């Protein structure tokens, strides 16, 4: 029996035009460029224009990924979008994206795993492709987190930004994706949430991000190490085999702590948090696209993607590029 695998054949990303610096925030908020840089490594973030929704950012990132892959959208067999900031309650952002790409027929759905969303979506796509049923799959992480922030809460609003990243996967006989462990623990739901919903035409609860930053920090560092080791063990590889580590871009100190635990120098870690801030499900594909396009990631290398976020959810994708 033929074994099927998935391989990334094109990446793309998109950042909204408008940038907001730490100094811009400090003009209206009790914060400072120094505090934000020191505690998070963030210098600026991109913020979507009023008319831009998650599907608009997803469209631009997808078009770039399809162009890099050298295939047209009508050859896609499945579209998966990871987002926690969908255009509307329904239809899914994936269906809206499909229409904007000008195609129809193939299944399209959203994955909701907050900052682990892209890793969850990529693992899901890999499983579909291993069945042999799908040949080309588009996986996107797209967020407009600026819409769910309390812009008067200095403890959270300085941390996030908007953006989208996408990959096109192709079925093949060699991997590709070597391991994709995923996890969740809903008992930690309260430490990072947007506790609001739509009920009877009204908003019920508070639909703005709230977080216990210290608890999230500790949890993130712990599970990012654990799940990376799990992916390596599944693939029969060692820490020293990792050529590039791309963790979810939440805070430079989380990236540094994870790299240290994995015995990697920061030169092996792709970092965009300084310029993008935390773009939730978009952060990993944004960083991946940057490192592919600037030539750091080369064919044959081992790349470890890692997500961690609300839920709590976490996971890793180990790729032979």
Question: Which residues in this chain contact ligand UT7 in the complex, by CB under 6 A?
Answer: 31, 35-36, 39-40, 115, 154-155, 158, 192, 211, 213-214, 216-217, 220, 248, 250-251, 278, 309
Shortest distance in whole angstroms from residue 22 CB to ligand UT7 = 9
Token pair for 237: 């590889």
Cα separation, 44 vs 120, in Å, equals 27
Q: Is 115 an annotated catalytic residue? A: yes
Shortest distance in whole angstroms from residue 66 CB to ligand UT7 = 28
Task: Give the chain's radius of gyration (CA, Å).
Answer: 18
Widest distance between CA atoms in the chain: 63
Closer residue to ligand UT7, CB minimum distance, 69 or 115 = 115
Say which DSSP state 95 is in: H
Do the beta carbons of residue 48 and residue 280 sit within 8 Å? no
Q: Is 51 an annotated catalytic residue? A: no
Shortest distance in whole angstroms from residue 1 CB to ligand UT7 = 40
- Count CA atoms within 13 Å of residue 74 on its CB side: 1
Closer residue to ligand UT7, CB minimum distance, 281 or 292 = 281
- Report which of 206, 214, 195 is spatially closest to residue 155, judged by C-alpha positions: 214
**In the beta sheet, which residues pair with residue 196?**
205
Closer residue to ligand UT7, CB minimum distance, 188 or 296 = 188
Q: Is 278 an annotated catalytic residue? A: yes
CA–CA distance from 185 to each of 45, 88, 131, 147, 197 (Å)? Answer: 29, 26, 28, 26, 21
Collapsing DSSP to helix, strand or coil, 299 comes out as: coil
Shortest distance in whole angstroms from residue 259 CB to ligand UT7 = 15
Residue nearest to ligand UT7 (CB): 213
Collapsing DSSP to helix, strand or coil, 211 comes out as: strand
Closer residue to ligand UT7, CB minimum distance, 35 or 321 = 35
Cα separation, 27 vs 208, in Å, equals 22
Do the beta carbons of residue 81 and residue 53 sit within 8 Å? no
- Among candidate residues 22, 46, 95, 115, the one labeled active-site is 115
Closer residue to ligand UT7, CB minimum distance, 176 or 309 = 309
- Among candidate residues 46, 248, 276, 302, the one labeled active-site is 248
Shortest distance in whole angstroms from residue 140 CB to ligand UT7 = 18
Closer residue to ligand UT7, CB minimum distance, 75 or 154 = 154
Cα separation, 121 vs 282, in Å, equals 11
Shortest distance in whole angstroms from residue 277 CB to ligand UT7 = 10
Say which DSSP state 16 is in: -
Q: Which residues are catalytic?
A: 115, 248, 278
């Amino acid at each position: 029996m033929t074994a099927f695998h998935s391989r990334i054949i094109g990446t793309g990303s998109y950042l909204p035009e408008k940038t907001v610096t730490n100094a811009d925030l400090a003009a209206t908020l009790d914060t400072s460029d120094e505090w934000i840089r020191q505690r998070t490594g963030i210098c600026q973030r991109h913020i979507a224009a009023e008319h831009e929704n998650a599907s608009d950012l997803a469209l631009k990132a997808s078009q770039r990924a399809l162009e890099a892959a050298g295939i047209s959208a009508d050859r896609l067999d499945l579209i998966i979008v990871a987002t926690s900031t969908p255009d509307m309650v329904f239809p899914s952002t994936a269906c809206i994206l499909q229409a904007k790409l000008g195609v129809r027929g193939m299944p399209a759905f959203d994955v909701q795993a907050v900052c682990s969303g892209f890793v969850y979506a990529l693992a899901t796509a890999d499983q579909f492709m291993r069945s042999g049923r799908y040949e080309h799959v588009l996986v996107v992480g797209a967020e407009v987190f600026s819409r769910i922030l309390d812009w008067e809460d200095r403890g959270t609003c300085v941390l996030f930004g908007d953006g989208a990243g996408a990959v096109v996967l192709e079925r093949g006989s060699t991997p590709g994706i070597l391991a994709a462990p995923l996890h969740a623990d809903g008992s930690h739901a309260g430490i990072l949430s947007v506790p609001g919903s739509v009920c009877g035409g009204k908003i019920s609860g508070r639909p703005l991000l709230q977080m216990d930053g210290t608890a999230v920090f500790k949890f993130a560092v712990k599970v990012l190490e654990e799940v990376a080791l799990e992916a390596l063990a599944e693939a029969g590889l060692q820490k020293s085999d990792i050529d590039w580590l791309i963790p979810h871009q939440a805070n430079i100190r989380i990236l540094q702590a994870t790299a240290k635990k994995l015995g990697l120098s920061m030169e092996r870690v792709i970092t965009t948090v300084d310029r993008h801030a935390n773009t939730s499900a978009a952060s990993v594909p944004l960083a991946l696209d940057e490192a592919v396009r600037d030539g750091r990631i080369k064919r044959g290398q081992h790349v470890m993607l890692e997500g961690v976020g609300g839920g709590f959810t976490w996971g890793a994708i180990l790729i032979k590029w």
